[in-house]
């Protein structure tokens, strides 16, 4: 499986993910929450940032269900759903991830036919080949 | 000062193309040279007169190699445009600006690509993971089709677009290809049943929502309006040109702003129409970038042919067919003629205004050509006298 490429701007996100926290880059000057991370706040041009803890709750904004041809690790699990989740704190904060039946379940563990746009989900964190990433599970 | 110094100041006077196939033997460099030589011959202009080039950043052969092979003279303008198929019309636009401002006299734009027999870019897992892909690809949105599938499902949810409407887009292109001997799909008819029963590639998008994978090369030659009237062919003028990189745009994974369904075409369109003497209702025929079927409804909205959310319904009742509301992709487009990063849409726009298309729209005098929607994009409005 592909692992995220960590760059200067995004490194804190993955450090917090390893601790089980979903945190978003936030401008220390004006408070704008930024995703994806970047080196400057587009609202006030601030260059100092804090990392704001998110609730980890959101709703499915949309999803795709890839079928082959795919990279071999993904083809072996296809078809699998990939969701874009709108965080409840701000609808422009949309995080791409896998919707899974349980924290350690495979990326094809949720039947795509059962997924609905707007359904509530919550973040869990799981290790993939030594790397921690957020995944989403259906929320009550 | 002239408020629209670009308008009708430069013209496309030559077009050239190699054959299109899943596999062609010559290199991309050799194919590029052949297409350029054919375009110069079409224009009746000698190679040593060429003093400007414009190409995509994804083009594998640089200007040095092209110029010394085709026999260009001293070159005084050369530019590259990024973002894959979003750069197609900008190559023409940049040459038009260079010619209108006196930086060059004879410009060549080209695209040569062996996408049919060469590698799929998304399989390059080293270079494809930089921002923003690190936030999407590890989870399995590996290919452009996956990224567009996400937008498509949201569009269907918000506006009720149906798979039948996407099928109508695919069929409009295929029906034109079936009358175009140069098209890869010339002898391959498609029905709505074929479309609806095709295998999924990234649900909700199926096989026929995807463009072809083609080897081929194309080129255009451009000169000033003054010189164009003395060329071998009837001039096709660049009436207006726009590029579009919207505020807070994120490329094909454009999920992180207020309205991801209003893409770069909206920005390019505002620039395009600002300087045009006519509007969308006056466009006789359009060549709309179609790496994937949903890019056509999204672009129709962006360029003002219908209201937001009505792009799907625009394809109903033969709306995109010959004789419909707006005939599109009259060579078959990327979906059914050839996928050469949209450059074949430019040459088909020229043929329509010369009156030489295999699917000629009677009396066509204006044509919109667009580059890739969902990436930083560009568009040109072409017209004839």
pLDDT tens profile B114-138: 999 998 988 987 777 778 888 999 9
- Residue B184: per-residue pLDDT: 98
Give the mean pLDDT of chain A: 95
**Out of B130, B146, B200, closest to residue A82 by CB:** B146
Whether the pLDDT of residue B251 is over 80: the answer is yes
What is the pLDDT averaged over residues A56-68?
A: 98
- The answer to whether the Cβ–Cβ distance between B253 and A96 falls below 8 Å is yes
Confidence bin at B21 (pLDDT 50/70/90): very high
Q: What is the DSSP letter of A6?
A: P
In chain B, what percentage of residues exceed pLDDT 70? 99
Active site residue B155: no
Mutate to test the interface with B, among A82, A95, A129 (most CBs of B within 10 A): A82
**Is pLDDT at B238 greater than 60 in this prediction?**
yes
The reported pTM is 0.97
A90-94, B42-46, B305-309, B356-360: range with lowest mean pLDDT: A90-94
Between B134, B203, B255, which is nearest A84 by CB? B255
Does B199 sit within 8 Å of A117, measured CB to CB? no
Confidence tier at B352 by pLDDT (50, 70, 90): very high
**Using CA atoms, how far apart are residues A51 and A24, in angstroms rounded to an integer?**
5
- Report the SS3 class of residue B270: helix
Per-residue pLDDT for B211 more than 70? yes
Which residues in chain B touch residue A128, judged by CB atoms under 8 angstroms apart? 138
Task: Say yes or no for a CB contact (<8 Å) between A71 and B142.
Answer: yes
What mean pLDDT is predicted for residues B165-189? 98
- What is the number of alpha carbons within 13 Å of residue B24 lying toward its C-beta? 23
Backbone phi, then psi, for A117, in 5-degree steps?
-60, 135
Tokens representing B237 are: 């003028």
Q: Is the pLDDT of residue B2 over 70?
A: no
Shortest distance between the Cα of B217 and any Cα of chain A, in A, equals: 26
Residue B1 has pLDDT above 60, yes or no: no
The chain A residue lying nearest B249, using CA atoms, is: A36
Q: For residue B326, is pLDDT > 90?
A: yes
Average pLDDT over residues A62-76: 97
Mean predicted confidence (pLDDT) in B209-232: 97
Asked whether the predicted pLDDT for residue B261 surpasses 70, the reply is: yes
Option in A9, A63, A71 nearest B150 (CB): A63
Chain B residue numbers with beta carbons less than 8 Å from the beta carbon of A36 are: 131-132, 135, 250, 256
Would the CB atoms of A66 and B149 count as touching at under 8 Å? yes
3-class secondary-structure state, position B263:
coil
Spell out which residues of chain B touch residue A67, defining contact as CB-CB under 8 Å: 199-203
Sequence-distant (6+) residues with CB within 8 A of A64 are A81, A82, B141, B146, B147, B149, B150, B153, B202, B203, B204
Query: Which of the residues B56, B195, B289, B303 is marked catalytic?
Result: B289
Question: Of A65, A94, A112, which is closest to B255 when you measure between CB atoms?
Answer: A94
Q: Which of B134, B154, B248 sits opposite A5 (nearest CB)?
A: B134
Mean pLDDT of B261-276: 97
Mean pLDDT in residue range B237-241: 98
Assign A73 a pLDDT band (cuts: 50, 70, 90): very high
User: With 90 as the cut, is the pLDDT of residue A128 above it?
Assistant: no
- A82 vs chain B: nearest CA distance in angstroms? 7
- A80–B153 C-beta distance less than 8 A: no
Asked if pLDDT for residue B256 goes beyond 70, the answer is yes
CA separation for the pair B16, B377 (Å, rounded)? 23
pLDDT at A5 over 90: no
Q: Which residues of A touch B123 (CB under 8 A)?
A: 71
Q: Is B213 exposed, middle or buried (0-12, 13-18, 19+ CB in 10 A)?
A: middle
Quick one: what percent of chain B has pLDDT higher than 90?
A: 93
Identify which of A2, A36, A65 has the shortest CB distance to residue B125: A2
CB spacing of A74 vs B140 below 8 angstroms: yes
In terms of Cα–Cα distance, which of B121, B148, B287 is closest to B218? B287
- The residue of chain A nearest to residue B128, with distances taken between CA atoms, is A5
Residue B333 pLDDT level (bands cut at 50, 70, 90): very high
Q: Across the beta sheet with B377-383, what order do the strands follow? A: B77-81, B52-56, B107-114, B215-224, B10-17, B236-244, B377-383, B366-370, B285-287
B289 is catalytic: yes
Q: What chain B residue is nearest to A136 in terms of C-alpha separation?
A: B139
The chain-wide mean pLDDT, for chain B, equals 96
Place of tokens 């066509």: B364
CA atoms within 13 A on the CB side of B35: 30
Q: What is the pLDDT of residues B60-90, one digit of tens each?
A: 999 999 999 999 999 999 999 999 999 999 9
Proportion of chain A in helix, strand, coil states, percent, rounded to 5: 10, 35, 55
Which residue numbers of A have CB closer than 8 Å to B's CBs? 1-7, 9-10, 35-36, 42, 61-67, 69-71, 74, 79-80, 82, 84, 92-98, 107, 112, 117, 128, 133
pLDDT at B187 exceeding the cut of 80: yes
C-alpha B112/C-alpha B216 separation (Å) is 6
Q: Which helix (H) or strand (E) element contains residue B243? A: strand B236-244
Q: Which domains does chain B possess?
A: 10-118+212-383 (3.40.47.10)
């Amino acid at each position: 499986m592909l692992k995220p490429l960590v760059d200067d701007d995004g490194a804190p996100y993955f450090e917090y993910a390893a601790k089980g926290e979903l945190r978003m880059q936030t401008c220390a000057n004006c408070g704008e929450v930024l995703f994806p991370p970047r080196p400057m706040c587009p609202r006030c041009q601030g260059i100092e940032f804090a990392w704001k803890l998110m609730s980890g709750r959101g709703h499915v904004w949309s999803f795709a269900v890839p079928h082959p041809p795919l990279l071999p690790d993904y083809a072996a699990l296809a078809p699998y759903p990939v969701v874009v989740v709108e965080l409840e704190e701000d609808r422009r904060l949309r995080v791409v991830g896998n919707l899974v039946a349980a924290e350690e379940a495979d990326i094809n563990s949720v039947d795509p036919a059962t997924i609905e746009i707007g359904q509530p989900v919550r973040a869990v964190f799981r290790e993939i080949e030594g790397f921690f990433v957020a995944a989403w599970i259906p929320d009550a | 000062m002239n408020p629209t110094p670009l308008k009708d100041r430069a013209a496309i006077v030559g077009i050239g193309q190699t054959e299109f196939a899943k596999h062609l033997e010559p290199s991309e460099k050799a194919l590029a040279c052949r297409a350029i030589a054919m375009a110069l011959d079409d224009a009746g202009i000698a190679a040593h007169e060429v003093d400007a080039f414009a190409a995509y950043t994804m083009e594998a052969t640089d200007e040095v190699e092209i110029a010394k092979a085709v026999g260009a003279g001293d070159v005084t303008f050369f530019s590259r445009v990024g973002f894959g198929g979003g750069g197609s019309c900008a190559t023409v636009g940049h040459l038009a600006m260079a010619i209108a401002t006196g930086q060059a006299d004879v410009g060549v734009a080209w695209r040569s690509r062996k996408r049919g027999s060469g590698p799929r870019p998304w399989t390059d897992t080293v270079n494809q993971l930089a921002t923003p892909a690190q936030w999407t690809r590890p989870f399995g949105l590996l290919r452009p089709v996956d990224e567009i599938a996400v937008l498509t499902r949201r569009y269907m949810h918000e506006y009720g677009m149906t798979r039948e409407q996407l099928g109508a887009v695919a069929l409009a292109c295929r029906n034109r290809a079936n009358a175009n001997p140069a098209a890869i799909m010339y002898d391959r008819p498609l029905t709505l049943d074929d479309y609806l029963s095709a295998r999924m590639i990234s649900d909700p998008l199926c096989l026929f929502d995807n463009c072809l994978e083609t080897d081929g090369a194309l080129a255009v030659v451009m000169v000033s309006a003054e010189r164009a009237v003395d060329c071998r062919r009837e001039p096709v003028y660049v009436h207006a040109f726009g590029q579009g990189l919207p505020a807070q745009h994120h490329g094909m994974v454009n999920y992180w702003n207020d309205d991801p369904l209003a893409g770069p075409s909206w920005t390019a369109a505002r620039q395009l129409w600002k300087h045009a003497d006519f509007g969308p209702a006056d466009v006789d025929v359009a060549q709309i970038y179609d790496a994937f079927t949903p890019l056509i409804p999204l672009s129709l909205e962006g360029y003002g042919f219908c209201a937001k959310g009505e792009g799907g319904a625009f394809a109903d009742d033969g709306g995109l067919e010959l004789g419909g509301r707006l005939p599109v992709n009259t060579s078959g487009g990327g979906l059914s003629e050839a996928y050469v990063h949209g450059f074949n849409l430019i040459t088909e726009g020229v043929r329509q205004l010369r009156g030489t298309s295999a699917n000629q729209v009677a009396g066509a005098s204006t044509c919109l050509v667009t580059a890739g929607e969902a990436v930083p994009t560009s568009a040109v409005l072409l017209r004839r006298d």
